[in-house]
A and B are shown apart, each in its own frame.
Chain A
Amino acid sequence: MRIKDRLLKTLTAAALGTAMLWASPALAADDTIKVGVLHSLSGTMAISETTLKDAMLMLIEEQNKKGGLLGKKLEAVVVDPASDWPLFAEKARELIEKDKVSAVFGCWTSVSRKSVLPVFEELNSLLFYPVQYEGEESQRNIFYTGAAPNQQAIPAVDYLMANDKVERWVLAGTDYVYPRTTNKILEAYLLAKGVKAEDIMINYTPFGHSDWQTIVSDIKKFGSAGKKTAVVSTINGDANVPFYKELGNQGVKAEDIPVVAFSVGEEELAGLDTAPLVGHLAAWNYFQSQDNPVNEAFIKTWKAFIKNEKRVTNDPMEAAYIGFNMWVKAVEAAGTTEPDVVIDSIVGVSVPNLTGGYSAMLPNHHITKPVLIGEIQADGQFETVWQTPGLVAGDEWSDFLPDSKDLISDWRKPMSCGNFNTATGKCGGKG
């Protein structure tokens, strides 16, 4: 019996030892550089964010085909924060501390970004944020490759004023920080341009709102005061679908009351019959319909990767593409993935974008982008009807809000400040 016990113990110890040895090769696999992908794969934002996760996997695969980065292969670490904002922060911490990623590409809603911000500052890692947002932020550890309000909202309003002679404005948004801040900026901008306060109507709806009858009826009423009216929509997520359906059903034609949206792209139109919506607008920095060789190659690679001819590309995917390529270029220039070194080397990096030109990383951690205004077509694509003659530099501190008009951001040494107040000469916000 005793011998048997001893034998058993020895065997168990040996087994455990082998298992541990077996597990340790994971540590030895340091030949990969890990990249974190932090996008919701379930919950209400899954609709928009899943395609970005797929885009990141494609970009990493393409980079590995070119030989990887610094001689090592890239490895994607995908987590699902499930549209749960506190979970975003937890998952970000897990990616940086446990998985030891060199950079994270992720987030969509501004609230998710604000949740992960303290984590990235504390652990000194890098976040590339590919979605259009409301500005009023510039952090050392975050690179904003999506549009700031001056790269989307303001040019859209300018286009409507100049082209369609719009005099009355409806600002309709979902009730959270991005539409609220954007509408604050737009209201200040419109008033500064001489629009009367009674010619501006603002309203907010919850996420997923589906009964748009009253609001569309109010829009029609507001638009029948003899002045040309337009709707500026910051409605987010799938509430857009019943909104556009109701517009179509109640006969609101784009020639009469155009709707320009900031969060409706090819992906959101994929679930809609767009025939009644022809002519309604969106403002982005990229459309799938852009005709140039780089974009055509990108679309071809994407459709082959995702094995589905019907999947579309959209602006946040282009922003992810630009952000990823900028990071790769900066790491190659710096020779290391150390965040502090990359933060210094990435300013000034210029990579091709998908609209036939180049985008450069600015000292305020935003990029240069062209602004495109497109009209919805019957096949769910956008037709570009206007674009800025050149690139617009991202301006995160809006010049139209009193709290931010004196602020600038420059992360190069020696200033290294995200909210330097030019009026008081001090770093740290509105003094």
Chain B
Amino acid sequence: MIAGAMRALKIIIFVLLSCFASASLAWSGEVEIRTSIAQLATAKGFPEIEKIVKDLAALGDPLVNPALTALADGNLQVRKSDNAIFITRDGGAGVVLIDPVTGKEAGEAAKTDVVKIKVNNGLRRIIRDSLGNLTLQSPDTATRRQAAETIFKNSDASQLTALDAAIAGETDAGVKAQMELARASAILNSDRSDDEKVDAIELIGERGGREALSLLTATEAKTTGLVKDQAAAAVAGIERSLAIWATGQNVWYGISLGSVLLLAAIGLAITFGVMGVINMAHGEMVMLGAYTTFVTQDVIRDNFPGLFDWSLLIALPLAFLVAAIVGVIIERGIIRHLYGRPLETLLATWGVSLILQQGVRSIFGPTNQEVGNPSWMSGSFQIGELDITWNRLWIIVFSLIVFFVLLIALNKTPLGLQMRAVTQNRRMASAMGIRTPFVDSMTFALGSGIAGIAGVALSQIDNVSPNLGQSYIIDSFMVVVFGGVGNLWGTLVGALSLGILNKFLEPFAGAVLGKILVLVLIILFIQKRPRGLFALKGRAVEA
């Protein structure tokens, strides 16, 4: 019995000791991490910081991840009073201090009490790669996938054993496939046999895409013999498929440019169509819409910050109203008195555009104003090899909605009926009892209001400055003349085809020459069909 008790005691002591040992190992691991992190406070210059980062990464302990991530994001700061290192987060008037290893909050400090540890691009890259290696076995699926993608990009051959271990234990099929690719990429950079490299090339070649192309081109450059030939073949294959995707990408860019042109021009198509008025102030209506968006966002930012993501939707009706009211004022005040005199109207509206520009400049200042993108309009996603940016996608959707709403308004409402009648034959419409002056005002208001709405959309992709309108007035006239005056479908087709044509010319001729060529082509087209693509049948518009 005593022997059994002794044995039990030994076992207990052994267990206690091993617990103690592992705890102290973990403790000493944490101590090592803290010592390394503390060195960051006194490190001078980027090479020293780089050395500390590499030491931290070499420890192989996931406990360093929060500190490294904070360092890359610029959130790792040193408290001036005692050189203690904290992860910081904005909080109230100062910053909230967080322990870099445990993640526990450790008080607050004023912004001037702490100094950021500086990093540059090279350091950020090293930290990103190190984090990739460290998080390969993370419990979170997304983190593991991210880690595998990082290793795929940087072809780190030293990670092969880690990858093998990770692949063996991986349960998620998608992450496993990404890890296999990462492994293949690492093999290409290692001293493994040629056969293994050829297999790796095949796997990567199948995946395709820009990053694979980059890897295989680099491999082709630094190998010889069979591996080089295989790499070259894979590169050629990927380039072929990328060329097809590139054409699709150009079509996408063309459609997005076309949607911008459509938004800017559609208001002009209506006013030009109904009244034959060359409105040189049309661009300024767009500009007023953009400034309305800026003011709305400013008010929301100051008073209702939670509504920021809705700011664009709130700005839409406001921009419509503002631009429409200004449009009515211009129509009643100036254009009404100049009917039948197109040259004078041109000059007068040009003068109005200058007045509006200078007015906005005097009120808001000549510098650009910042219009924020709501969160759902930033970033991009991929379909195959197509890069689709969210802001452009939403603008295309928006322009189509505006187009169809206008179509319905023109074809199904009484006012729309009157507008179409006045477009086709003003005298007859007047004889039928339609009040043409009222229709004119409403048309101008509608056209200007649509331009205001276009301004809301364009504020998301272009600068909001008093000169905003000038960039769109020429393009708007181009689209309207090309597509046919007064016809909405003509404007749609005209805008989309001009956009696609421009985007297909741009890779070959450059932006400047591409635009020139498009203008020349339109001039030649107008020689053949002066009324545009979809000419209105019936009598020409008269004053």
Query: Chain A contact residues (Cβ within 8 angstroms of B): what range?
Result: 35 or more
A288 to chain B, nearest CB (A): 16
Q: Knowing A214-B503, A255-B128, A375-B121 touch, does A226 contact B221 (C-beta < 8 A)?
A: yes
Q: Knowing A225-B217, A249-B378 touch, does A218 contact B121 (C-beta < 8 A)?
A: no
Complex interface: stretch among B27-35, B250-258, B302-310: B250-258
Q: Does A304 belong to the interface (CB within 8 Å)?
A: no
CA distance A238 to B463 in the complex (A): 7
Q: Knowing A217-B249, A249-B390 touch, does A238 contact B510 (C-beta < 8 A)?
A: no
Q: What is the predominant secondary structure among interface residues of chain B facing chain A? A: helix
What 1/0 flags go to B492-535 for Cβ under 8 Å of A?
A: 00000000000100110011100100000000000000000000
Cβ–Cβ contact B370 & A249, under 8 A: no
Looking at A241, A258, A377, the one whose CB has the most chain B CB atoms below 10 A away is: A241
A6 to chain B, nearest CB (A): 47
Cβ–Cβ contact A50 & B367, under 8 A: yes
Q: Which A residues are CB-close (under 8 A) to B515?
A: 206
Looking at B249, B367, B370, the one whose CB has the most chain A CB atoms below 10 A away is: B367
Complex interface: stretch among A143-151, A266-274, A362-370: A266-274
Identify which of residues 272-304 in chain A touch chain B, using a CB-to-CB cut-off of 8 Å.
272-273, 276, 278-279, 281
B42 to chain A, nearest CB (A): 18
Which of B358, B369, B471 is in CB contact (< 8 Å) with A271?
B369
Q: Which B residues are CB-close (under 8 A) to A225?
A: 213-214, 217
B80 to chain A, nearest CB (A): 13
Cβ–Cβ contact A273 & B512, under 8 A: no
Q: Which B residues are CB-close (under 8 A) to A215?
A: 511
CA distance A203 to B508 in the complex (A): 11
Cβ–Cβ contact A220 & B122, under 8 A: no
What 1/0 flags go to A50-65 for Cβ under 8 Å of B?
A: 1000000000000000
CA distance A276 to B373 in the complex (A): 12
CA distance A206 to B513 in the complex (A): 10
A204 to chain B, nearest CB (A): 6
Q: Does A408 belong to the interface (CB within 8 Å)?
A: no
CA distance A254 to B210 in the complex (A): 17
Q: Knowing A50-B366, A226-B218, A375-B121 touch, does A204 contact B461 (C-beta < 8 A)?
A: no
Identify which of residues 374-426 in chain B touch chain A, using a CB-to-CB cut-off of 8 Å.
378-380, 387, 389-392
Cβ–Cβ contact A224 & B214, under 8 A: yes
Cβ–Cβ contact A255 & B210, under 8 A: no
CA distance A177 to B115 in the complex (A): 42
Q: Knowing A209-B511, A227-B218 touch, does A214 contact B380 (C-beta < 8 A)?
A: no
- Name the CB-closest residue of B to A211: B257
CA distance A221 to B238 in the complex (A): 13
Complex interface: stretch among A38-46, A95-103, A133-141, A189-197: A38-46
Cβ–Cβ contact B462 & A242, under 8 A: yes
- Name the CB-closest residue of B to A205: B511
CA distance A377 to B124 in the complex (A): 13
CA distance A218 to B366 in the complex (A): 33
Q: Knowing A42-B361, A218-B507, A385-B46 touch, does A248 contact B378 (C-beta < 8 A)?
A: yes
Q: Does B211 belong to the interface (CB within 8 Å)?
A: yes
- Name the CB-closest residue of A to B118: A383
Q: Which A residues are CB-close (under 8 A) to B215?
A: 226
- Name the CB-closest residue of A to B503: A214
Q: Does A175 belong to the interface (CB within 8 Å)?
A: yes
Q: Which B residues are CB-close (under 8 A) to A221?
A: 210, 246
Q: Which A residues are CB-close (under 8 A) to B260?
A: 211
Which of B211, B213, B380 is in CB contact (< 8 Å) with A249?
B380
Cβ–Cβ contact A242 & B463, under 8 A: yes
- Name the CB-closest residue of A to B467: A44
Cβ–Cβ contact B387 & A224, under 8 A: no
Cβ–Cβ contact B390 & A241, under 8 A: no
Q: Which B residues are CB-close (under 8 A) to A204?
A: 510-512
B289 to chain A, nearest CB (A): 16
Identify which of residues 214-253 in chain A touch chain B, using a CB-to-CB cut-off of 8 Å.
214-215, 217-218, 220-221, 223-227, 238, 241-242, 245-246, 248-251
Q: Knowing A42-B361, A206-B512, A238-B463 touch, does A271 contact B367 (C-beta < 8 A)?
A: yes
- Name the CB-closest residue of B to A208: B471
CA distance A175 to B253 in the complex (A): 22
**Total interface residues on B, using CB and 8 Å?**
57
CA distance A15 to B125 in the complex (A): 79
B484 to chain A, nearest CB (A): 24
Q: Which B residues are CB-close (under 8 A) to A278?
A: 74
Cβ–Cβ contact B471 & A214, under 8 A: no
Q: Which B residues are CB-close (under 8 A) to A209?
A: 511
- Name the CB-closest residue of B to A214: B506
Cβ–Cβ contact A220 & B370, under 8 A: no
Q: Does A32 belong to the interface (CB within 8 Å)?
A: no
- Name the CB-closest residue of A to B370: A271
Cβ–Cβ contact B379 & A279, under 8 A: no
- Name the CB-closest residue of B to A206: B512
Cβ–Cβ contact A272 & B366, under 8 A: no
Q: Knowing A164-B121, A249-B379, A258-B121 touch, does A217 contact B387 (C-beta < 8 A)?
A: yes
Q: Knowing A203-B510, A245-B461 touch, does A255 contact B370 (C-beta < 8 A)?
A: no
B219 to chain A, nearest CB (A): 8
B273 to chain A, nearest CB (A): 27
Q: Does A378 belong to the interface (CB within 8 Å)?
A: yes
Identify which of residues 15-39 in chain B touch chain A, using a CB-to-CB cut-off of 8 Å.
none
CA distance A41 to B124 in the complex (A): 41
Q: Does B465 belong to the interface (CB within 8 Å)?
A: yes
Looking at B380, B467, B515, the one whose CB has the most chain A CB atoms below 10 A away is: B467
- Name the CB-closest residue of B to A239: B463
Which of A43, A164, A214, A279 is in CB contact (< 8 Å) with B253?
A214
CA distance A233 to B217 in the complex (A): 26
Q: Does B368 belong to the interface (CB within 8 Å)?
A: yes
Q: Does A163 belong to the interface (CB within 8 Å)?
A: yes
Cβ–Cβ contact B366 & A46, under 8 A: yes
Q: Which B residues are CB-close (under 8 A) to A246?
A: 389
A161 to chain B, nearest CB (A): 13
Q: Which A residues are CB-close (under 8 A) to B462?
A: 210, 242
- Name the CB-closest residue of A to B387: A250
What 1/0 flags go to A356-398 for Cβ under 8 Å of B?
A: 0000000000000000000101100001010000000000000
- Name the CB-closest residue of B to A210: B462
CA distance A238 to B370 in the complex (A): 12
Q: Which B residues are CB-close (under 8 A) to A203?
A: 510-511
CA distance A223 to B218 in the complex (A): 12
Q: Which B residues are CB-close (under 8 A) to A245?
A: 373, 461
Q: Knowing A47-B465, A205-B511, A205-B512 touch, does A42 contact B217 (C-beta < 8 A)?
A: no
Q: Which B residues are CB-close (under 8 A) to A41?
A: 366
Which of B120, B211, B389 is in CB contact (< 8 Å) with A375?
B120
Q: Which B residues are CB-close (under 8 A) to A213?
A: 253, 256-257, 389, 392, 503
Which of A163, A227, A249, A255 is in CB contact (< 8 Å) with B391?
A249
Q: Does B372 belong to the interface (CB within 8 Å)?
A: yes
B197 to chain A, nearest CB (A): 16
- Name the CB-closest residue of A to B124: A255
Cβ–Cβ contact B210 & A220, under 8 A: yes
CA distance A220 to B380 in the complex (A): 14
Q: Knowing A210-B463, A273-B372, A375-B121 touch, does A250 contact B367 (C-beta < 8 A)?
A: no
20 contacts between A and B (CB under 8 A): A50-B366, A164-B122, A203-B511, A205-B511, A205-B512, A210-B471, A211-B511, A214-B506, A217-B249, A217-B253, A225-B217, A241-B463, A242-B461, A249-B391, A250-B389, A255-B128, A270-B367, A271-B367, A378-B74, A383-B118
Give 9 A-B pairs besides A226-B221, A385-B46 with Cβ atoms closer than 8 angstroms. A42-B358, A42-B366, A50-B367, A214-B511, A217-B249, A238-B368, A250-B387, A276-B378, A383-B118
Residues of A that sit less than 8 Å from B by CB: 41-44, 46-47, 50, 163-164, 175, 203-206, 208-211, 213-215, 217-218, 220-221, 223-227, 238, 241-242, 245-246, 248-251, 254-255, 258, 267, 270-273, 276, 278-279, 281, 375, 377-378, 383, 385
Q: Lowest 7 A-B CB distances belong to which pairs?
A: A226-B218, A46-B366, A226-B217, A271-B368, A385-B120, A224-B214, A224-B210
